[in-house]
Chain A
């Protein structure tokens, strides 16, 4: 998404991260496949490698990996680089296996990787929808914990069709940077909330969906990051703190851009005990538009950008408690 606007940023950071960039001068830049430096003993790296995204197609692949080492791994920074044309990238911890699985190093191309019930109880590690670099540095004293041998999965979605273009093909690289050993840390928790059974039809104007995601903790938590996700019918996405007695507060996250939604990474939003988040999606579709012909040209819940819609919220908080949170 928005590759050219981000390329300068990616290259500017390249001196630190050594991300691959073109040698050409500004104004003549051509995108090249992203890379990230080997983190060495301070972390580990996973990548999808390069793969084809044919013209007129959407590709969604699921790549499986195993957390290395023989003791818990505490991560203070996650860095993701994605080729132009990415629609989203999710990293999940693999839990209940339904019809989607793979050994470390294996990939499931399309097929079951499109079917969302397959990861219904898989905790989110990180989401980003930005081409180029996403650098997620956790606050001091906050880490994301991984267990040795834990299976994780990158789900990557590239689009080379009407709504988005993928000139080079797909590629995702992700680095996990270790926190110093022996420290005392708060553990990061994640929230993945999706409003299902949505329906956006030709002629709809500012059609609104609003839902809560409470996570039942008996203490205050702090949200440090958030982003929203919808497709091209999306007009406005908001996320607000939610109090179990007074309801939703003012939004701490607002996105009016479906194809380049901001990922807020420096938030300090307090969620009261027993609270959660409230998130809203507003959609419009021109009267002469047609999404899914089998749904009276409406756009219904699903991952395909060209004829379906999403209303997904992602947020990161600490201290985590006993579980990450998925709300449906």
Chain B
């Protein structure tokens, strides 16, 4: 908790043009805080410092998540379904390439709802020496946790889940770091049809074809 609070005080969210997600408790982080200075990378013997992010395009303010309870957008994927597009800010990297893993867990049972990992590249964060973030020029450099359609017997939307984010450095010394916090997956579509589809697909006990008109 103290480490996370330290992060909140000195980390990327100090930038007034950035949004922090939600209110409530404080996110847990396995990061050590590091000693990065001047963007030169971290001490390879220490774990990486990680702060989860909700993806936003580069032309919009970053959304870093440091407190529990933040609503997290259920983003409609191109072919179908809704995913959590999860990025990260990281301190302590020597490489610009990481394996980023995001995992959503049921808060009560600890069961994994869904999980996704991918190789992504990072980019420097302006005005935050030593910090990098998953490249926001494209959503492809964030993980896409495929939570909807929801075949489970509990709704995805509107419930609090534990989001775990893990980072492993690639092409360098394979330093690792992780963070977790509680989020609330939320349909944020402004178009009524899109919003209705999100509500429907993210409701418990989904069956293929449920969200369209009846067919034979």
Hey, which chain B residues are within 8 Å of A149, CB to CB?
Answer: 216
User: Is the C-beta of A3 less than 8 angstroms from some C-beta in chain B?
Assistant: no
* Most chain B CB atoms below 10 A, which of A199, A247, A326, A328: A328
Hey, which chain A residues are within 8 Å of B78, CB to CB?
Answer: 116-117, 196-197, 301
* Shortest beta-carbon distance from A296 to chain B in Å: 9
Query: Which are the 6 A-B pairs with shortest beta-carbon distances?
Result: A96-B212, A120-B80, A328-B81, A216-B151, A95-B209, A199-B140
Is A208 a contact partner of B117 (Cβ separation < 8 A)? Answer: yes
Would you mind naming 22 contact pairs between A and B with Cβ atoms under 8 Å apart?
Answer: A94-B215, A95-B215, A96-B212, A96-B215, A117-B78, A120-B80, A120-B81, A150-B216, A207-B119, A208-B117, A208-B118, A210-B101, A210-B116, A210-B117, A211-B117, A212-B114, A212-B115, A218-B153, A245-B112, A326-B80, A328-B79, A328-B82
User: Is the C-beta of A165 less than 8 angstroms from some C-beta in chain B?
Assistant: no
User: Is the C-beta of A244 less than 8 angstroms from some C-beta in chain B?
Assistant: yes
Hey, which chain A residues are within 8 Å of B139, CB to CB?
Answer: 197
Hey, which chain B residues are within 8 Å of A301, CB to CB?
Answer: 78-79
Hey, which chain A residues are within 8 Å of B149, CB to CB?
Answer: 121, 326-328
The contact of B99 among A197, A208, A323, by CB within 8 Å, is: A208
User: How many of B's residues come within 8 Å of A, CB to CB?
Assistant: 42
User: Is the C-beta of B5 less than 8 angstroms from some C-beta in chain A?
Assistant: no
Is B110 a contact partner of A215 (Cβ separation < 8 A)? Answer: no
Is A116 a contact partner of B81 (Cβ separation < 8 A)? Answer: no
* Most chain B CB atoms below 10 A, which of A96, A197, A208: A197
Is B215 a contact partner of A151 (Cβ separation < 8 A)? Answer: yes
Hey, which chain B residues are within 8 Å of A207, CB to CB?
Answer: 118-119
Is A96 a contact partner of B213 (Cβ separation < 8 A)? Answer: yes
**Given A210-B117, A211-B115, A245-B110, are A196 and B79 neighbors across the interface (CB < 8 Å)?**
yes
User: Is the C-beta of B83 less than 8 angstroms from some C-beta in chain A?
Assistant: yes
Hey, which chain A residues are within 8 Å of B30, CB to CB?
Answer: none
* Shortest beta-carbon distance from B63 to chain A in Å: 18
Cα A26 to Cα B3 with chains together (Å) = 72
The contact of A323 among B77, B208, B212, by CB within 8 Å, is: B208
Within 8 A of B (CB), among A211-262: 211-218, 242, 244-245, 247
Hey, which chain A residues are within 8 Å of B80, CB to CB?
Answer: 116-117, 120-121, 326, 328
Is B146 a contact partner of A198 (Cβ separation < 8 A)? Answer: no
User: Is the C-beta of B8 less than 8 angstroms from some C-beta in chain A?
Assistant: no
User: How many of A's residues come within 8 Å of B, CB to CB?
Assistant: 50
* Shortest beta-carbon distance from A177 to chain B in Å: 23
User: Is the C-beta of B178 less than 8 angstroms from some C-beta in chain A?
Assistant: no
Hey, which chain A residues are within 8 Å of B150, CB to CB?
Answer: 216
Cα A157 to Cα B48 with chains together (Å) = 45
The contact string, 1 if C-beta is below 8 Å from chain B, for chain A 297-308, is 000110000000
User: Is the C-beta of A123 less than 8 angstroms from some C-beta in chain B?
Assistant: yes
The contact string, 1 if C-beta is below 8 Å from chain A, for chain B 67-90, is 000000000011111110100000
User: Is the C-beta of A195 less than 8 angstroms from some C-beta in chain B?
Assistant: yes
Is B112 a contact partner of A244 (Cβ separation < 8 A)? Answer: yes
Is A208 a contact partner of B119 (Cβ separation < 8 A)? Answer: yes
Is B77 a contact partner of A328 (Cβ separation < 8 A)? Answer: yes
User: Is the C-beta of A122 less than 8 angstroms from some C-beta in chain B?
Assistant: yes
Hey, which chain A residues are within 8 Å of B141, CB to CB?
Answer: 199
Hey, which chain A residues are within 8 Å of B146, CB to CB?
Answer: 193, 195, 211-213, 327-328
The contact of A326 among B99, B118, B140, B208, by CB within 8 Å, is: B208
Is A323 a contact partner of B151 (Cβ separation < 8 A)? Answer: yes
Q: Which residue of A lies closest to B82 (CB)?
A: A328
User: Is the C-beta of B211 less than 8 angstroms from some C-beta in chain A?
Assistant: yes
Hey, which chain B residues are within 8 Å of A300, CB to CB?
Answer: 140
User: Is the C-beta of A147 less than 8 angstroms from some C-beta in chain B?
Assistant: yes
Is B216 a contact partner of A147 (Cβ separation < 8 A)? Answer: yes
Is B111 a contact partner of A245 (Cβ separation < 8 A)? Answer: yes
User: Is the C-beta of B136 less than 8 angstroms from some C-beta in chain A?
Assistant: no
Is A197 a contact partner of B144 (Cβ separation < 8 A)? Answer: yes
Within 8 A of A (CB), among B182-216: 205-213, 215-216
* Shortest beta-carbon distance from B119 to chain A in Å: 5
User: Is the C-beta of A264 less than 8 angstroms from some C-beta in chain B?
Assistant: no
Cα A325 to Cα B141 with chains together (Å) = 26
Hey, which chain A residues are within 8 Å of B113, CB to CB?
Answer: 214, 244
User: Is the C-beta of A278 less than 8 angstroms from some C-beta in chain B?
Assistant: yes
Is A323 a contact partner of B115 (Cβ separation < 8 A)? Answer: no
Within 8 A of A (CB), among B140-156: 140-141, 144, 146, 149-153
* Shortest beta-carbon distance from A258 to chain B in Å: 18
